[in-house]
Structure 1
């Protein structure tokens, strides 16, 4: 008969190090009260002995659910086409799971529904904390979470009321990088098909677009809000291309808006070439307007022409946001607002092949 090996306990770790079991518990759970050196020694011994947490016992002993809530007010359809948020969630879950936490995903149809979810979670003590995304103008959610006493961090921002700490991607000069790239290629008539005018990051990009183009004397220019609706983006693209002085370059808020619009641009340009009998240098894809996406994914790489895009590591961003939240849950001090992960412009065929005419 094979005897089952006894599970390693906190007491075993304490005995090996000659410290109290309470000190081991504080160190394992990153609680204040023990030194950083003790935490390192405890965690090293835990790894050596093969200790693993019993999450049910951990939750009971700390009165925690070991669950983090995530209830963004976005359509479920968005998650079928947009890759950034899926990678963000995967990165967050990876960091949370290492500390025994799970991510409770509850998508909502509106801000009002999202806020009610937070009230319900606080009342039932369903989650220990919340990850907030998509900061809006005059956003009531950070203030509500503070009133509910629910620990939270904001991915984005910063929150102007400083109700909750935030971690945002350092996007301050990204629009400028895109516009410098396009203007160096000779483009002066540029259209920006933005997302939602209520979203903080969309308006920041819009302000950067208007400021840069005004300082360089570019024009005519267009800023159109699509509400992330691909049909609306396609309709706007068709309308702008029909203008006599049409844009020679398009900037799209997301890769899905870019993909849908490039399809209709291709159809229009192929028909124009056939009617005009253009020579090879003026045929598709060389007569295409330049296109840039503010989100990068396999879609941008797979399209033809492949799409120049702003690349952010969404998975790493989710991991960093989750780690900031875990720091809050451990009782450690958290800085108000920080920026990380400066995006990179990945230049592909959509701006190499296109010319400014």
Structure 2
């Protein structure tokens, strides 16, 4: 079915296209009665304003963009991103700003997507997820003049607002807890080393295990998938001196570890303690013996909403933290292990 246009509304209402434009855009030049009649006809025909035309007229696309550079098969089983997207959408609310999400195969493709979105005026701003240790996106978006908010950090730069979880504090609490239970050999099953949050957790793990005398503890890196997690766990548990506790960067890998432990005839928690980082409910708690480390999911979801609003507002000339200030301190936000947003 052909999309209705202003010309169709004008023909149905018996007025000029200029009158329809004035009526639908709230501009003076038509009577209230005519404005109401034109609006009713527009609704009846199913007319909606063109995002491309609106971008040309007021410079706003009415959308916030998110590019996720993760394998599609990982996203299909990873609850973190779905929770994060829900938080972003809650931040956008029921207004006229939409969420545009795209999956890329590698970072070069992701960078091209930002360039294209900016050139085509597809989005008013972007949210950058999975902050990397050496992240080319930061200079790219600032160089383009594309408003952006980083979910990760802290960045140490004033031109990009950000929100992050205090991963170091969370990891330290986990290791203190395991040490109190008597564990001395712990393996941290982490995500890719290129991510900032992985690096922060691994550094905190190394510092805490050294302080606590856990000299046979180490971090191993995977791809966040259940297959990757299961493979890392199997190698660790068949070693000459296997760990007595495992800490996982997400629930997906912890769930896979339960199956591996069962294969090897190990009891959880009798022979092996497991800690899952996300606390999104993907891993059963209680009788299984799996502890869930509160990763401040609620705080990060709230931060996603805060900075979705911030990114939406920056195109209109507001400063980098003005919209965030509506609900919290502008600029940089840290979600603590207990879920509080600071």
Report TM bin, short chain. 0.7 to 0.9
1:76, distance to aligned residue in structure 2 (A) = 1.7
> Is the counterpart of residue 320 in structure 1 residue 292 in structure 2?
no
C-alpha change, 1:337 and 1:289, in structure 2 (3 Å) is farther
Give the structure 2 partner of residue 124 of structure 1: 120
Q: Please say if residues 266 and 288 of structure 1, whose CA atoms lie closer than 8 Å, have aligned partners that are also in contact.
A: no
Q: Please say if residues 186 and 244 of structure 2, whose CA atoms lie closer than 8 Å, have aligned partners that are also in contact.
A: yes
Give the structure 1 partner of residue 160 of structure 2: 164
> Is the counterpart of residue 234 in structure 1 residue 215 in structure 2?
no
1:320, distance to aligned residue in structure 2 (A) = 2.0
Q: Please say if residues 75 and 81 of structure 2, whose CA atoms lie closer than 8 Å, have aligned partners that are also in contact.
A: yes
Specify every segment of 5 or more residues in structure 2 that has no aligned partner in the other structure, as ranges: 1-22, 29-47, 322-329
List per-residue Cα deviations over 1:146-192 (Å, max 9, x = no partner): 11111111011233555522121233311001111111111111110
Specify every segment of 5 or more residues in structure 1 that has no aligned partner in the other structure, as ranges: 1-6, 13-53, 271-283, 346-357
Name the TM-score, length of structure 2 as normaliser.
Answer: 0.76
List per-residue Cα deviations over 1:256-307 (Å, max 9, x = no partner): 011111211122125xxxxxxxxxxxxx345331111111222223685152
Q: Please say if residues 64 and 99 of structure 2, whose CA atoms lie closer than 8 Å, have aligned partners that are also in contact.
A: yes
Give the structure 2 partner of residue 343 of structure 1: 337
Alpha-carbon distance in 1 for matches of 2:114, 2:333? 26
Q: What count of residue pairs does the alignment treat as equivalent? A: 285
Q: Please say if residues 158 and 167 of structure 1, whose CA atoms lie closer than 8 Å, have aligned partners that are also in contact.
A: yes
For the residue of structure 2 that corresponds to 1:109, the secondary structure is coil
Q: Please say if residues 82 and 256 of structure 1, whose CA atoms lie closer than 8 Å, have aligned partners that are also in contact.
A: yes
1:325, distance to aligned residue in structure 2 (A) = 1.8
Alpha-carbon distance in 2 for matches of 1:55, 1:96? 19
Q: Please say if residues 269 and 288 of structure 2, whose CA atoms lie closer than 8 Å, have aligned partners that are also in contact.
A: no
**C-alpha RMSD over aligned residues:** 2.7
Alpha-carbon distance in 2 for matches of 1:305, 1:180? 21
Name the TM-score, length of structure 1 as normaliser.
Answer: 0.73
Alpha-carbon distance in 2 for matches of 1:207, 1:285? 27
Alpha-carbon distance in 1 for matches of 2:335, 2:253? 24
Give the structure 1 partner of residue 107 of structure 2: 111
1:11, distance to aligned residue in structure 2 (A) = 8.4
C-alpha change, 1:78 and 1:304, in structure 2 (3 Å) is farther
1:241, distance to aligned residue in structure 2 (A) = 1.4
1:225, distance to aligned residue in structure 2 (A) = 0.5
1:87, distance to aligned residue in structure 2 (A) = 1.2
